[in-house]
Each structure stands twice: as C-alpha cells, then as structure tokens.
Structure 1
Amino acid sequence: MSAVRVHIEGVGLYGPGLQGWDDAAPRLRGEQPFELAALALPAPEALPPAERRRVGLALKLALATGFDAVRHAQRDPASLPTVFSSTGSDCDNCHQILTTLASDDRAVSPTRFHNSVHNMPAGYWSIATGCMAASTSLCAFDATFAAGLIEAATQARCARRATLLVAFDTSYPEPLYALRPIAHALGVGLVITPERTERTLATLDLRWSRAPATPLDDAALEALRVGVPAVRSLPLLQALARREARQLVIDHLGDLQLAVAVQP
C-alpha cells in the first residue's frame, strides 16, 4: 500500500508493571526501571452494577485501556468509532466454557455464552459510554496490533473522524496455554485522527515492508514484546513516550510487516 498518514492524540497502556500511560511512559523512556508486577486495573465503574458483576479480566483490561487513551486525548468516548483487536478476547471465559462442555453437566450459563463472542468488549464499551458510533472487532493471531492499527487508520481517514483503537490480549489457562502461550495480559489504546490537532502527539506514516520487526534494547521489555501480540506495538509506544522521530517495523503476518515512520 502507499503510505497512509494519521495522527495520534492519546495513548493508553495497561500491563504487568505498566499501570496506565502516565506510569508507563517514563519506564519506556528509560527514566524509571521496568519490572514485571501484578496487573492492577481500575474497577469498571462506568458499567451499571449488574453488568459490572458479569465481566472478567479481558473486559476490565479493554475498558481501562480505552478510557486511558480517551482521557489523554481529552475526547468524549461517546463520539468515537472504535476498533477492538484481540487474539483471543476473554480467554478465561473460553476455558470455563470448554471445561463445562467436557464435564457431565454441559449446561453453559447465559452470561458465559454472551461473554464468549469476540465483539463482547465492543458491546460493553457502548453500554459504558453510550457510544452509538460504528465498531469493528478483529483478530489476526500475532498480527493483532498491526491489523488493528491498519483498520483504525483506514477508518479515521475514510470517515474523517477520530477513531479509538484498543488492542488487548489475556492468557489462556492450561491446557490451552500450552498451544497458545501468551505470557501476560496487556492492553494498548490509541486515539487516531485524520488531521493534526492542538493535542497531536505524533504523526504516523504507515506502509508495508519486508524488513524484520524492530526489537527493543531493554531485555525485559523485549520479552514482553515477543510474548504478547498486542504489545508488538512497544517500539511505537516507546517512540511516542520519548517524543522522538523514528523509523520502525511492527510484526504482521509471514514476511509482510508494517513499517511506521513516527514524527513527533
């Protein structure tokens, strides 16, 4: 594809030892050490109490990440079209359903069933924010983040509207973990605009590439990058945190990668 130019207004990030963008940015800049720590997420207060009781880790992660990005962009979440990109969505819920189906009592609860669909976060986001704008849900194996970024950038450009991307992954319990090992739960949010605004953090030019993906110098962050599909975005997030111009490559599928030119 020819280069697609979009702009970033807000960033959200939650993961092990990364508790929101304000906490994560100095660690990505190298000003504070990064260490793996238990994931701590804010309660999903935007949901009604009845809905709040039904949700699991995947939805809490997606909501926290999305609200973090929207807050930094100073945008009304009800006004933004959304793209949710995740390899497995609610992996714990999938495990519980399969466990039930393998037991003598194979009755699956309605709550587990409706939380099993891949666009579950999009539905809860609309309940939490009152958003009536269009929403797209994707999965693309290890290309989860790149696919989401391409989709959100395309929508922002075509519709001439700011668009929210939320890419997130959680881990399957065993025995599925052995087949699809995702090391940690982590979510990334970006508010993407078709034009520069007074709140623009950086401009991105996106194009296809055959070059290898860009690694990180920090060993702990690099292990996180290769261990979680949504965090193949870490080189981009590091460039945004450092406010630096950079040419980088993000994993896509096979030998086709996504090249990103970052201009703060």
Structure 2
Amino acid sequence: MSLPSLFVEGIALWAPTLPGWDTAAPALRGEGRAVDPPAARPSPELLPAAERRRAPDSVALSLEVAARAVAQSGRAPSDLLSVFTSAHGDLAITDYVCSTLARAPWSMSPTRFHNSVHNAASGYWGIATGCMQASTAVSAFECSFAAGLLEAWTQAAADAGPVLLVGCDVTATGALASTNDSRGLLAVALVLAPQRGPHALARLDAMLVPGATERIPLRSEAALPLAGNAMADALPLFETLAGGAPEVLTLPLSAMLGLRVQVCACRDRG
C-alpha cells in the first residue's frame, strides 16, 4: 500500500551531545563532532519560568524540538495538527509515581502526577502555543517513531494540511531501569506537509511492506552513543535528512510490518 507524498518543512533534534539541528546535521553527516561536555537540558522559552523549572525532561525536550522545527517551517504553531510519540513517556515520573504509591501515597505531588500522563507534552504544547488543533499521543514500544510517523502521515493526507511530529524518550531510572533499557535523552521533530511549499527541505514517499524488518544500523559516530535510547529508531531517517542524498529506509512498525520510506532532498527549495 503506497501513501501520498509528504514534504519535510522543519527538522529538529536534541540530545545532550547533539543539542540542536545546526550541530546535529553536520555531525550525522560525519563532518562535525558531538558536543563534549554534553549540553545541559534545554529550557523551552515557550513556558513561563515557573513551568520551565517544573517541567520534566520529556516535556522540556519535546517543546524544544517542536518549537525549533516549527520555526524552521515558517508555519504558525497554532495552525498545526500534532502527533507526539514516545515508547515509554517520562520514565522518571513513572518511577516516582509508582514508588510513592507503594510507600506513601498521601505524599503524591499533584504536579508530578499530572506530568505522568502520556500526553503531557502534547498538553503543554497546546497551552504554550494556544493551538486548538487536534493532537494525538502515540506509543508503540520499540516501534514508536515509525508508528508516530505513520500517524502523522495519515493525518496530513486525510486533512490535507501540515502536521507536527514530535518523538521523545528519556532514561529509565529507579526500579524501572531493571526492566527497561532506555538510556540518555533524545528528542526529534518534523513538520510534514502534503503539498510542496517554499520551505520544503525533502520529499518523502512511503509504502507499507509486510514481513519482518530488521532495525537499520546507525552510520555516524555521533549517532552511535544515542543507540540505547528508545527513540533511536528515528536516527536513520535523520541521518539521511542530514546527508541530503536520495535513500530508501524501511522502519519497523511491528514484528510483521514495515514502513518503507524514500527520501529525496528538495534541492531548489520550492
């Protein structure tokens, strides 16, 4: 099954060693280096100061990349449908909630509790930008980026309008670290449009392919340290977008289904 073409209008990535697309793109091409020492967690300017301090890592990173991708696209944040995808949500918050419920449930922080829901980042985004468009939160374990991309693709095609896709996962902590191997911080974002416009950076064509799909190995030295993060399946696509050469990638959607994506740069930008 083939999907309608989409155009990438905005790209963002944040990790402690790749804090922003301007740093990440050359590093993912093998032309630059990762940041050392790693950067501190971003402080999203969209939020008031008090909210910035209280926001968990997943929210801070998601809003950072969302704002950067939207700014590059030239779109108004309030005009965009959005899809937020994460394999696990904020594992530190989940660990806190579980351990508090087990030991002293009456001491539960209301702020941390409301940050534990899977669509917390989506909610913060809508409030911070005043966006009243539909927003979807997706989770598909180790296939969460591909599932989010397919959801964003479907919405862009169905509604004939641009969609913001944001993916983020964080480090497993506490007792959860014994059963979950997500490590480090990684967030990515794309603004995707069904028609080519003046800000188009790349064209994406895709089809669903049956059968088992192997995970795509990372090519750049800058990406390899991020392989332990649950959102790392996004990195091959971002390596391709950084490189600019035409390429076909097959991203696992499940044990028996893949999303084959053909990437071609828009050289003349419209």
Give the shorter-chain TM-score range. Answer: over 0.9
Within a 5 Å distance, the mapping from 1:197-208 to structure 2 comes to 197-208=197-208
Q: Contact 2:23–2:32 at 8 Å: present in 1 too? A: no
Give the match for residue 158 of structure 1.
Answer: 158
Give the match for residue 259 of structure 2.
Answer: 258
Give the match for residue 20 of structure 1.
Answer: 20
Q: Distance in 1 between matches of 2:260 and 2:225?
A: 21
Which deviates further from its counterpart, 52-61 or 11-20?
A: 52-61
Q: Contact 1:156–1:162 at 8 Å: present in 2 too? A: yes
Q: Distance in 2 between matches of 1:248 and 1:43?
A: 33
Give SS of 1:196's match: coil
Structure 2 residue 58 is matched with structure 1 residue 97: no
- Check 1:37–1:58 CA distance in 2 against 1; reply closer, same or farther (3 A cut): farther
Q: Contact 2:28–2:222 at 8 Å: present in 1 too? A: no
Q: Give 1:100 shift.
A: 1.0
Give % identity. Answer: 41
Q: Give 1:180 shift.
A: 0.9
Q: Distance in 2 between matches of 1:169 and 1:51?
A: 20
Q: Contact 2:14–2:65 at 8 Å: present in 1 too? A: yes
Q: Distance in 2 between matches of 1:24 and 1:245?
A: 19
Within a 5 Å distance, the mapping from 1:172-191 to structure 2 comes to 172-191=172-191
Give SS of 1:235's match: helix
Give the match for residue 233 of structure 1.
Answer: 234
Aligned AA (1:200): A
- Check 1:179–1:236 CA distance in 2 against 1; reply closer, same or farther (3 A cut): same
Aligned AA (1:175): A
Give the match for residue 218 of structure 2.
Answer: 216
Aligned AA (1:224): L
Give SS of 2:118's match: coil
Q: Contact 1:41–1:64 at 8 Å: present in 2 too? A: no
Q: Distance in 2 between matches of 1:142 and 1:56?
A: 21
Aligned AA (1:75): R
Give the match for residue 268 of structure 2.
Answer: none
Q: Contact 1:145–1:229 at 8 Å: present in 2 too? A: no
- Check 1:192–1:56 CA distance in 2 against 1; reply closer, same or farther (3 A cut): same
Within a 5 Å distance, the mapping from 1:1-264 to structure 2 comes to 1-34=1-34, 37-104=37-104, 106-209=106-209, 210=211, 211-218=213-220, 221-222=223-224, 224-225=226-227, 227-264=228-265
Q: Distance in 2 between matches of 1:9 and 1:47?
A: 24
1:183-226 per-residue CA deviation (whole Å, 9 max, x = no partner) reads 2110010000001111111111121234433222335624524x
Aligned AA (1:163): V
- Aligned-pair RMSD on alpha carbons? 1.8
Unmatched segments (≥5 aa) in structure 2: 266-270
Q: Contact 2:152–2:163 at 8 Å: present in 1 too? A: yes
- Check 1:94–1:39 CA distance in 2 against 1; reply closer, same or farther (3 A cut): farther
Q: Distance in 2 between matches of 1:36 and 1:99?
A: 34
- Check 1:35–1:257 CA distance in 2 against 1; reply closer, same or farther (3 A cut): farther
Q: Contact 1:171–1:184 at 8 Å: present in 2 too? A: yes
Aligned AA (1:199): H
| Aligned residue pairs, count | 263
TM (norm. structure 1) is 0.93
TM (norm. structure 2) is 0.91
- Check 1:176–1:79 CA distance in 2 against 1; reply closer, same or farther (3 A cut): same
Give SS of 2:54's match: coil
- Check 1:37–1:208 CA distance in 2 against 1; reply closer, same or farther (3 A cut): farther
